[in-house]
Structure 1
Amino acid sequence: MKTFIIILTFYGCMASASVFAQTPKAVEADLLNAFKKINYWDEQKNNSGADDSLNKANEVFGKKLADYTAKYPFTISQPFDLLKKEHLDICTSSDGLFRIYSWDTWLGGSMHIFENVFQYKVGNKTMSVFHPLKWGGEVVSYWFPKVYTLKAKDKTYYLGIYGGIFSTRDAGTGIQVFTIENGRLNEDVKLIKTSTGLHSKLYYDYDFFSVVDIKYELRPTITFDAATQTIKLPLVDGKGKVTSKYITYKFTGQYFEKVKS
């Protein structure tokens, strides 16, 4: 009888834990605990074995984030304020159907290595994609601080603003087009028409020191205006300096095309 009671108690605790884990508060608490370990092991970099532990901490957090955001539909609208305070970037589309989570792994030096989880909603389900982005077969490392939404005819496009840090001086910014098609995330939507053909992104490298003295919110960067359906990106000169001039691409109903100045 005693054994039977112990078994019942064990399974009862397991069931309670399962219910508890489904609450938004519990999900964030578990993710926060895993995310803080990344920062902890980053601070221990000078200690033996810290690099391996930092790499493992990133793997654990990335998998947890992907699992939770795929399993629990409520996460796509959860604010995750505590995680944001720990510098997890979260940007969500205006229709609430697409979200990107980005973080610095601290595995790089002056070149920063970022990871991303892409979450999207299909019907009553949420899906998550956690893997390095590959453009042209090349693995890239960017973070996404903002996403815009473009509705055209019967399609919805998501325009993600991304950035990269490659050294103390070298940086880059771009805009990438995504769609959700047949229940899957399409990362290669050739919606931008340039002189070299059709592309899924616009991008420029620049000298970070050319904008370092400008307040962050005032720095020239890529923007999208939903009202005019135009993308504006700063003109960079031959030395990598970001100027006050802009290049404009307007959506014509089929593609974004450069506006003649």
Structure 2
Amino acid sequence: MKALNLIAIFCFTTSVKLLAQTPQTIEADLLKSFKKIDYWDLQQSNGCDDANDSLVLANESFANKLKKYTAKCAFTINMHFNSLVKERVSIVTSADGLFRIYSWNTQLGGTMHVHKNLFQYKTSYGIRSDFSSYKEVDGESIYLKLYTVKTNYKTYYLGISMAVLWSGYTADFINAFAIENKKLNDKLKIIKTEGGLENGLSAQYDCTSLVNRNVKEVPYLSFNLKTQTIHLPLILTDGKITGKYVNYKFNGQYFEKIKS
């Protein structure tokens, strides 16, 4: 009985502390935590032996705090978090305000940048917050844009992210999401390709390759919200950047390839 009472007291105390948090105190706490990532990254660059372990712990601490606040405090989905954005935390929010992605560089990679992605979204049950489970992009790419595509029956979200795989080699991704059955579906397959329905598309650019030595401007994967068309750069099998695009237009149910 005492154990149950202690658990109840702990849960009540934790709930009260979270409810007492203001936007200002939450942002200040997150900023203080995030700055430790940069601190230990600098120590690692200076040759500190234990810096890598501390850098891992600093990332875990920031990730846990961010998840706690975004899962418990619904108003955080409307916060600008200007101080975090200034420190290069990417925060993109859907036009309807129901879905947001937080991304940051963990500084745990070398020439390959390793990012962490947290998804925050609203359901009829309230606010939810989960780390990305999509292995192709999780931990490697940073989300830079988030588009909202509405139909008569559903709302889809398209997230565009970018990965630095190594020096001179980068990749762009576009992935589809939807809030369904009070959960975020991050494996939604609404893009029709020759191989079947897919959740996303990607383009990889090796600017160090000899076949691309005359390329002056690298094209980027993009989405035109007005025409609801994905513009995917055409990269040949040998890695050559052509400057041309493969276009996928939304027909109300799927994105289908159209003639350029």
Q: TM-score, normalised by structure 2?
A: 0.85
What's the offset of the Cα at 1:237?
Answer: 3.5
Taking the aligned partners of 1:190 and 1:82, their CA distance within structure 2 comes to 35
Deviation at 1:149, TM superposition (A): 0.6
Opposite residue 117 of structure 1, the aligned amino acid is L
8 Å Cα contact 2:203-2:221 kept in structure 1 = no
**Deviation at residue 97 of structure 1 after TM alignment:** 0.5
Give the AA of the match of 1:98.
F
1:132/1:141 contact within 8 Å kept? no
Contact 1:28 1:80 in 2 (8 A): yes
| AA of the residue aligned to 1:54 | L
Considering only aligned residues, what root-mean-square deviation do their CA atoms show, in Å?
2.4
Q: CA deviation at 1:227?
A: 2.0
Change (3 A) 1:247 1:131: closer
Point out where structure 2 has 5 or more consecutive residues left out of the alignment.
1-12
Letter in 2 for 1:255: Y
What is the one-letter code of the residue matched to 2:100?
A: R
SS at match of 2:166: coil
Deviation of 1:252 (Å): 1.3
Residue number in structure 2 paired with 1:161: 160
Does the aligned pair in 1 maintain the 2:176–2:188 contact within 8 Å? yes
DSSP-derived class of the 1:133 partner: coil
**What is the number of residues matched between the two proteins?**
241
Counting aligned pairs with the same residue, the percent is: 48
**Inter-CA distance 125–55: structure 2 relative to 1 (3 Å threshold):** same
What letter is aligned with 1:68? Y
How far residue 131 of structure 1 moved from its aligned partner, in angstroms, is: 4.5
Report the Cα distance in structure 1 between the residues aligned to 2:60 and 2:113, rounded to whole angstroms.
16
- Quote the Cα distance in structure 1 between the aligned partners of 2:139 and 2:106: 14
* Alpha-carbon distance, 1:101 to partner: 0.3
1:115 aligns with 2:116: yes
* Post-superposition offset of 1:236: 2.0
In 1: Cα distance, 2:233 partner to 2:113 partner: 23
CA distance in 1, matches of 2:132, 2:200: 19
- CA change 1:24–1:241 in 2 (3 A) is farther
Shift of 1:19: 7.1
Aligned equivalents of 1:31 and 1:249: distance in 2? Answer: 39
For residues 89-146 of structure 1, the C-alpha deviation after alignment (integer angstroms, 9 at most, x for no partner) is 00001111100000010101011111011000113721100255325xx965211111
Q: Deviations over 1:16-48 (max 9, x none)?
A: x93785200100000000000000000011101
1:128 equivalent in alignment to 2:129: yes
1:207 maps to 206
Q: Deviations over 1:161-188 (max 9, x none)?
A: 0111111022111100000011111011
1:57 is matched with 58
Deviation, structure 1 residue 224:
1.6
Gapped regions of structure 1 (runs ≥ 5): 1-13
Q: Residue 189 of structure 1: CA displacement?
A: 0.6
From the superposition, tell whether residues 133 and 257 of structure 1 become closer, same or farther in structure 2 (CA, over 3 Å): same
CA distance in 2, matches of 1:139, 1:122: 23
Task: State the secondary structure of the residue aligned to 1:172.
Answer: strand
Structure 1 stretch displaced more, 51-60 or 230-239: 230-239
Inter-CA distance 260–39: structure 2 relative to 1 (3 Å threshold): same
- Pick closer, same or farther for the CA change 1:21–1:130 going to 2, 3 Å: farther
Number of the residue aligned with 1:254: 253
Q: 8 Å contact 2:148–2:156 — kept in the other structure?
A: yes
Q: In 1, Cα distance between the equivalents of 2:56 and 2:32?
A: 16
Amino acid at match of 1:37: K
Contact 1:142/1:163 (<8 A) preserved: yes
> What SS does structure 1 have at the residue aligned with 2:110?
coil
For residues 44-66 of structure 1, give each alpha carbon's deviation from its aligned partner in whole angstroms, at most 9, with x where no partner exists: 11101100000000000001001
Equivalent residue for 1:24?
23
The equivalent of 2:244 in structure 1 is: 245
